[in-house]
Amino acid sequence: MSSVPRPSRPSRPSRPSRRAVVLGAAGAGIAAALPATRAHATGGDGGVPVGTPPVLLTEQASRRLLVLDPGRRVWDPAADPSVVRWEFSPVGDPRYRDLLPDVSWVYPCEAKVRLHRRRAYVLTTASFGFVAVVHYPTGRRYWGTAIGPGDDLFNPHSAEILPDGNVAVACSTGARVRLYAASQGPRATRYAEAELKGAHGLHWDAARGVLRALGDDELVTYEVGGTAARPTLERTYAVGLPVGTPGKTPGGHDLFPVAGRPGRLWVTTNAAVFQYETKGRVFVRDYAGAAEISRKSVKAVGDDPRTGQVLTTVPEPGLGETWWTTTVSVHRPESAYKLVDGGIYKARWWLPV
């Protein structure tokens, strides 16, 4: 990796050695709910607001997804495993063996929880090719694929499940959006494809029945056609992203619904955090807390409609990779969570939708 990677990465992380790739395989294959705890915090340490939901992380240092106790401001799973509500890794799990997780599950970079036919699933991607829709809490595979496993030439960076059960994948380095016929089975391989430079984020807009995708320079709307077994993608509209620095690409990164304001989407770029009004087709920064929330290199953003809190992740210096952080920032009011020895990339409130 170059000494100054693109801020929106991990788009081209250096390939780890074979030893590094398999490091931690012992005890892997994890997809288990730990002993039941309360669904929401009730005012734990640090004045956590009542009703705060758990936090879902892509934890790259240990190559896991974690759902963590929102009532603790400091998470130290090694010292206190009870902070972990749920965790997942496909390494060593026979249900994912064909996806070659030893080499494809490197730098997990997306995790979001979705409801599909009244069941909760975690959608996840990793920079070296792994993509899956994982049933919660069993870890069972709804669908999965490996796109160029063992390298970041495609770099699947986000995924979204559609009402018919098909799954869209944004490949940032590969500059494309794919729509897989995942409804046809856990190993379905057929897909439709559209080019999108720097494809980073995806969101299914249920109100309008369209797929939205975020790239380096634009937010694109796709119409989904065909059949569930043979889907098609048609680009119907695009809007340019706000330019932070004249002459430089905006660098779209995270795309996520604003839970507290239907019809708006969170959009992060290299320079700032916006909300996009889907009806007016405009980017705004008129939301509460913008002065603290909107800043450079935000990798993930989301709000909790019950408490009004917003969480974000921003890289911090001095860690194993330049895009990692040990801190999940919380806004409205300002506070933070800390993961001991962590390498966090994205964080989401656990809000199945």
Look up the CATH number of the domain holding residue 176: 2.130.10.10
Residue 302 has pLDDT above 90, yes or no: yes
Lowest mean per-residue pLDDT among 163-172, 229-238, 245-254, 294-303: 245-254
Does residue 266 lie within any of the structural domains?
yes
Look over the chain and give the mean of its residue pLDDT values, rounded to a whole number: 90
What is residue 46's predicted lDDT score, i.e. its pLDDT? 67
Answer yes or no: is pLDDT of 189 > 50: yes
Which has the closest alpha carbon to 169: 196, 149, 187, 134? 196
Confidence of residue 45 (pLDDT cuts 50, 70, 90): low
Residue 280 lies in a domain: yes
* Residue 121 located in a structural domain: yes
> What pLDDT is recorded for position 13?
41
Question: What does the alpha-carbon distance between residue 288 and residue 310 come to, in Å, rounded to a whole number?
Answer: 10
Provide the domain limits for residue 207: 53-347
What's the mean pLDDT in 119-130? Answer: 98
Q: What angle do CA 163, 166, 172 make, to 5 degrees?
A: 115
pLDDT on residue 27: 33
SS (H, E, C) 59-88: ECCCCEEEEECCCCCEECCCCCHHHEEEEE
| One-letter amino acid of 105 | W
Confidence at residue 248, expressed as pLDDT on a 0 to 100 scale: 87
Residue 25 maps to a domain = no
Q: What is the mean pLDDT of residues 216-225?
A: 98
Nearest to 199 by CA among 249, 276, 147, 254: 254
CA distances from 116 to 121, 123, 138, 259, 335 (A): 7, 11, 15, 18, 33
Asked if residue 262 belongs to a domain, the reply is yes
31 lies in some domain: no
Return the pLDDT at 47.
87
Cis (ω within 30 of 0) for the bond into 333? yes
- Count of domains forming the chain: 1
Q: Is residue 310 part of a domain?
A: yes
pLDDT score recorded for residue 6: 34
State the pLDDT confidence band at 334, using cuts at 50, 70 and 90: very high
On whether residue 21 sits in a domain, the answer given is: no
Q: Which 3 state secondary structure label does DSSP give 287?
A: coil
Structure confidence at residue 25 as a pLDDT band (50, 70, 90): very low
What is the rounded CA–CA span in Å between residue 140 and residue 69?
A: 23
165-182 pLDDT, tens digit each: 999 999 999 999 999 999
pLDDT at 245: 78
